[in-house]
Chain A
Amino acid sequence: MIYISKINIKNTKIKTKCTDKLLSIFIVIGIIVGCSIAESTTTTIKDFKITVGESKETLGNSKLVYEVAYGKKLSSSVDIPSNNVAKVVYKVNSNDKALVAQQASIRLYSLDGIDITIPMSYAQSEYSYTLSYKEIAKAFKSHSAEYTLEVIVSDSQLSTPIQWSVGTIKLNFAVQQSSPLSRYPEQKVISHLFRVPEARPSQTISTAFTGLVLAPSAIFVFGMLALGFNLSRFPTGMTFIYCTAFLASITAVTLLIIQYWISLTMVVTLRYLAVLLIPTLFFGQKTLSYLNSERPQLTKEKTN
């Protein structure tokens, strides 16, 4: 670190002095050479290691250790099973001396937009970070995916900060449902499931039973036709009008009851019925009393 700062100071000093074109070209070359020297001799990352274990306590005994040299890439993706922990450790060396950089972090980013930079903690000349699912769940929105791991080491004194893509790691969060990644997650269409009407017997059965039910009426009609009937007691004179009106009223009431069956409501039917009952009662009384006055003769005749 001290070495770089020296070069920088030297370069800037020369820069301020120079006026000549040739000199400036010379200095530019000097800076480039200086930079390349600084890069080759300065900062490296050493002992990069990812340890995967079941808990923080058992990490030390874990055999799942992935190591990779600076500048190389992990040969395969590191899979961290859910509920396990992983420890990322590396050292930052400058001229074979441990360096405390202003920024030493790891960055984990996925293709679908999650991009988290996590600071490392420094102890005993190495940087470490223990990744536990519980702690990162909120920031990662519990989103299980393959993340690219990057090491970022930078310092305002370093001429070229380090951004090293180590490889990929696979995070498996235990939760079933991850938090939505977009602001307004796409919502599904909901359509109502209508209740299915209950099953009904087939039409033929009901038709057959209708025929059965109508059979007595048919017997009644045919029997009546066979026995013969007449309307001889139909009165004449003034009572003829009463009787006709009575029959008309009864017909009207019958039709009203049929209409009630077809379309009318109870209230409306009762209202009409109340109106119809007045003539029915009046003409019924007239007709029936006439017919009854006729009846005693009949009974008398019978008794005689």
Chain B
Amino acid sequence: MNKLISLFILSLLVINVFGKIGGKRVLVLLDEEQVKSTHSDFFDGLTKKGYELDFQKTDSKVQLQKYEDFLYDHLIILSVENDPTLTTNEILAFIDGGNNVIIAGSSIISETIRDVASDCGIEIEEDKTAVYDNFNFDKSQNDHSLLLADGLIKDSPIIVNNVKLPILFRGIGHKIRDNVLNYGILTASATAYSGKQSTKAAGKLQGKRVGLVSSLQARNNARVTFSGSLELLSNENLRNTKVSNKEFVEQLTSWTLQERGILRASDLSIVKVNPTSTDNNSSSTILLTVKDDIQYSLKIEEFQNGQWVPFVGKLQLEIICLDPYIRTFIQGNKQGLYQSTIQLPDVYGVFTFEGTVKVPGYGNLQSLVRHPIRPFRHDSYERFIPSAYPYYAASFSMIIGTFIFSIIFLLHRDSTKPTTSN
């Protein structure tokens, strides 16, 4: 029972390191009041989902946290030409606390936002540049910077899925770092390039490496999305039925605001399959010995539509002591339960049982528990070795022989002697 309670507390602690999931308080920073009306569809969509939007001008004094408590769960910064009163460190601390940020800019990006983006692995191109594509632009407007982008991220269907038409984009490009935490959600086509607005001449950043909308999913599951175009979210584009901006923006915002794809683990248990009598030492931790057969079990849930549902996937379990000694993949059942029987290695030491789920676009899940694996006790080895039977036979025959001899030696009377004495 103690064992279960301690494991339960442990798993609770692990969860609390990550931010609160499902928070609804949003701070929206705007450069100009009119963005509220030109992007009203975007904000209405959020309000309908139950988000409480707090609109503030970029230059007004706002606080993200007070007494180490966050006042908001999400931050949305639209149009970032002016430096906000928030400092880079304040925004980064907000992200480090597990909260989410959406940033949409245009051709001029302030230093603060550049620093934040650069810390998130997103390197924004210089001011007064734009992404051009002389092949795939909106032909109806004859503006080569109005891109019809369809380079959606392929490995993470959880982020954007089922977006059939291209997405209208006009704005600044960026480069993302080659990193597992960074997601290039919308990239330009191979013929696009980032160039100065004055000359339209191509710069060094060209082709599919030109990021249009990118995200970072930090190790604490905080999600930061940067869009180089504010127009992407505007009413005009969201209402345009020839493009898929509406679907794209809806899916992107809900993913960024952690409405789905967050994982949590609970009910971790490691038990011996065949407990022996020496194991009943009534201590709270189980004593694992080399070569033991153990049953590992973990429950994994996924946050979806405001509730936790079982996550069915593949769990990677590694048993590590400096190096992974065992790595297996456990398939989860419908209840989100991952169970496997494993024989522990024949090496003793302090081992880490590391269960991880790695699915692109999903949050990080790492369930760590450390257990010592002990060597055999002096009496847990094989008791009788067949090769040593002569040795045992010698000992037993000696014991029994001595026993019989001593009794007879004590109680035997020579029958001949009494006769002679008589």
Residues of A within 8 A of B (CB): 102-105, 107, 109, 115-119, 138-139, 141, 150, 152, 154-156, 158, 161, 163, 179, 182-184, 187-192, 194-195, 200-201, 203, 205-207, 209-210, 212-214, 216-217, 220-221, 224, 228-234, 247, 250-251, 254, 257-258, 261-263, 265, 287, 291, 298, 301-302, 304
Contact of B360 among A139, A184, A213, A217 (CB under 8 A): A184
B272 at the interface (CB under 8 A from A): no
Interface of B is mostly: mixed
* Cα distance A265–B381 in the bound complex, in angstroms: 13
Chain B count of residues within 8 A CB distance of the other chain: 68
Q: Mark B356-379, 1 if CB is under 8 A from A, else 0.
A: 001110000000000000000001
Interface string of B384-422 (1 = CB under 8 A from A): 011111111111110111011111101111010100010
The stretch that binds A, out of B90-98, B206-214, B249-257, B279-287, is: B206-214
Question: Nearest CB to that of A152 among chain B residues?
Answer: B191
Q: How far is the CB of B7 from chain A (nearest CB, A)?
A: 25
Contact B190 A261 (CB under 8 A): no
Task: Kindly state whether residue B33 has any CB partner on chain A within 8 Å.
Answer: no
Which residue from chain A places its CB closest to the CB of B390 in the assembled complex?
Answer: A209
* Chain A residues, CB < 8 A from B411: 231-234
* Chain A hits for B291, CB < 8 A: 194
Closest to B316 in A: A187
Instruction: From A141, A213, A251, A257, name the one whose CB has the most chain B CB atoms within 10 angstroms.
Output: A213
Q: Roughly how many angstroms separate A265 CA and B378 CA in the complex, as a whole number?
A: 9
A-B contacts at CB below 8 angstroms, number: 172
Q: Distance (Å) between the CB of B224 and the closest chain A CB?
A: 17
Given known pairs A187-B327, A192-B326, the reply for A119 and B203 (CB within 8 Å) is yes
Closest residue to A257 on the B side, CB-wise?
A: B399
A115-B190, A184-B180 in contact; A203/B209 too (CB < 8 A)?
no
Contact of A183 among B324, B360, B395 (CB under 8 A): B360
Chain A proximity of B167: nearest CB distance (Å): 19
Query: In the bound complex, what is the Cα–Cα distance between A179 and B393 (angstroms)?
Result: 64
Closest chain-B Cβ to A241's Cβ sits at a distance in Å of 15
**Contact A192:B408 (CB < 8 A) given known A182-B155, A301-B421:** no
List residues of chain A with CB within 8 A of the CB of B400: 217, 254
Q: Residues of A contacting B345 with CB < 8 Å?
A: 192, 194
Say how far B179's CB is from chain A's closest CB, in angstroms: 9
Q: Is B379 a contact partner of A265 (Cβ separation < 8 A)?
A: yes
Measured between beta carbons, the chain A residues less than 8 angstroms from B4 are: none
What is the minimal beta-carbon distance from B77 to any residue of chain A, in angstroms? 27
The answer to whether B383 touches A189, judged by C-beta atoms less than 8 angstroms apart, is no
Task: Name the contact of B207 in the complex, choosing from A115, A206, A216 (C-beta under 8 A).
Answer: A115
Contact A107 B408 (CB under 8 A): no
Residues of A near B53 (CB, < 8 A) are: none
B193–A103 CB distance below 8 A: yes
How far in angstroms is the closest Cβ of chain B from A187?
7
Tell me whether A216 and B397 are in contact in the complex, defined as CB-CB below 8 angstroms, given that A200-B387, A206-B389 are known contacts. yes
Q: Counting CB contacts under 8 A, is B201 at the interface? A: yes
